[in-house]
């Protein structure tokens, strides 16, 4: 095979094909999210690194809003974790939303990545449908068909009119490889390494199950049919009784570890010399794949944004004794390494909540990172200005979520409604003090009728 044909084969392996019968772009075996799920669950390094990166991307969520209910069973914190895990493992995410008649989002939920498929392109070369199915191998199961996320009120109304009471909502598909139909999974460059780690574990298990683990080789004279307690007993039964009795002496854990052979002992009448017992030492070499496993582990860790090894693998005794600072710096380094994914997560959250039915949550969403902002400032003396901006945003968020902050907003609304505060002043307070965008600030104020002095006095 020449180089040109070899490249074509590789491209084909990672190019989804459109299946007309089901109306979706199907994954190739190398891209299938089920493969990612299998490797992440069965490779210990993949599993640990995936959990670690998900924690650093999702951080502590958004503390002041974590308890917001986004659907019947989940809070915002659950949603953040689900989105983070999907973009870590799959480098993409599907998010479903339900809408009310005003076109505002009422519920949000992450769709498992392996269950969703992109539908065919329309006349405008646009993928307007997302199909969801629990098992794409099951031909009897019919997929659910969803419209892609679209904020156009006319489009939403047309969807409501077409589907009626059975309106299913919309699905947002975030693809980190926007030039491709589906994103390439994080493990794609290290699929073979993940397999290697899994197979090394299976090899060791096979040796433990089937290898010579201190078995005993017992040689006795040949058994013959004999009278036992006056009963004629066949040689086969006597042979079995001997092995069973010997195993009882060794204990339950050693059952099945007897290799029994029979041989003639010419001219030997001494019983001790008529039975020969030898122990066969174990031949399991648990270091046979140590170099290969270490190489695979290092490659997998690099795939997860080069996670510090000290945070992924078991740390040797003594490391925690004098290297607390080392671990702290490793965490700080990894927080910086996952900055892009965390920013993507914040952008996704800001976007999906920009149309939330409760206007007070239509703000710029910022993740509370695992490492305190003050610790980060110490490591970067040139970032004091950014720290001040972040601290200001943090203070505004805390004010919005406090009881006093909510009461303050209500007072501003009342003052504006009574004509005591101008629109410009009310907007300035909500934007500068509380950190709301102009759009949200205007919606909070509404367009009330001005209350006259007589009406004010009668309240």
- Give residue-wise pLDDT tens across range 264-282: 766 556 656 677 777 766 6
Rounded to an integer, the average pLDDT of 95-101 is: 94
User: Is the pLDDT confidence value at 382 over 50?
Assistant: no
- Give residue-wise pLDDT tens across range 20-44: 777 888 877 667 888 889 999 999 9
Please name which of 378, 359, 357, 331 lies closest in space to residue 441, comparing C-alpha atoms.
359
What's the whole-model pTM score? 0.67
Would residue 32 be called left, alpha or beta, if left means φ above 0 and alpha means ψ between -120 and 50 degrees? beta
- What is the CB neighbour count within 10 angstroms for residue 350? 14
Token pair for residue 219? 């040689």
Q: How many whole angstroms separate alpha carbon 329 and alpha carbon 102?
A: 49
Residue bearing tokens 């794949």: 289
**Where residue 409 falls among pLDDT bands split at 50, 70, 90?**
confident
**Where residue 414 falls among pLDDT bands split at 50, 70, 90?**
confident
User: Is the pLDDT confidence value at 171 over 50?
Assistant: yes
The secondary structure of the chain in percent helix, strand, coil, rounded to multiples of 5, reads 50, 15, 35
Task: Give the list of residues 6+ apart from residue 401 with CB closer than 8 angstroms, or none.
Answer: 64, 65
* In contact, 306 and 337? CB cutoff 8 Å: yes
């Amino acid at each position: 095979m020449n180089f040109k044909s070899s490249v074509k084969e590789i491209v084909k392996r990672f190019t989804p094909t459109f299946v007309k019968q089901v109306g979706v772009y199907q994954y190739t075996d190398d891209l299938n999210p089920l493969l990612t799920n299998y490797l992440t669950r069965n490779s210990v390094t993949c599993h640990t690194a995936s959990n670690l990166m998900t924690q650093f991307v999702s951080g502590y969520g958004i503390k002041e809003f974590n308890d917001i209910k986004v659907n019947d069973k989940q809070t915002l914190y659950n949603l953040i974790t689900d989105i983070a895990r999907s973009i870590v493992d799959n480098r993409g995410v599907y998010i479903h939303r339900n809408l009310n008649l005003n076109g505002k989002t009422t519920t949000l939920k992450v769709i498992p990545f392996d269950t969703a498929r992109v539908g065919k392109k329309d006349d405008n070369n646009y993928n307007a449908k997302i199909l969801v199915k629990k098992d794409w191998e099951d031909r009897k199961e019919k997929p659910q068909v969803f419209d892609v996320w679209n904020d156009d009120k006319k489009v939403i109304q047309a969807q409501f009119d077409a589907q009626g009471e059975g309106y299913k909502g919309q699905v947002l598909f975030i693809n980190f490889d926007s030039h491709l139909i589906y994103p390439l999974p994080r493990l794609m460059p290290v699929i073979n390494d993940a397999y290697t780690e899994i197979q090394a574990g299976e090899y060791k298990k096979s040796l433990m199950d089937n290898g010579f683990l201190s078995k005993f080789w017992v040689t006795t004279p040949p058994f013959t049919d004999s009278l036992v307690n006056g009963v004629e007993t066949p040689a086969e039964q006597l042979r079995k009784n001997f092995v069973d009795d010997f195993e009882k002496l060794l204990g339950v854990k050693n059952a099945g570890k007897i290799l029994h052979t029979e041989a003639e002992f010419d001219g030997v009448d001494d019983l001790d010399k008529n039975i020969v017992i030898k122990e066969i030492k174990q031949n399991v070499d648990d270091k046979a794949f140590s170099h290969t496993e270490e190489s695979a582990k290092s490659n997998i860790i690099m795939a997860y944004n080069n996670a510090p090894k000290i945070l992924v693998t078991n740390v040797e005794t003594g490391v925690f004794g004098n290297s607390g600072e080392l671990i702290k710096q490793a965490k700080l380094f990894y927080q910086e390494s996952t900055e892009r994914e965390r920013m993507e997560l914040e952008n996704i959250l800001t976007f999906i909540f920009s149309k939330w039915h409760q206007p007070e949550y239509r703000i710029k969403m910022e993740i509370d990172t695992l490492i305190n902002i003050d610790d980060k400032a110490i490591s970067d003396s040139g970032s004091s200005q950014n720290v001040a901006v972040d601290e200001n945003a943090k203070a505004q968020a805390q004010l919005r979520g406090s009881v006093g902050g909510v009461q303050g907003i209500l007072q501003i609304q009342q003052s504006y409604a009574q004509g005591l505060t101008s629109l410009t002043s009310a907007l300035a307070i909500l934007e500068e003090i509380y950190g709301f965008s102009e759009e949200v600030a205007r919606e909070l104020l509404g367009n009330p009728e001005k209350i006259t002095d007589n009406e004010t006095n009668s309240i």
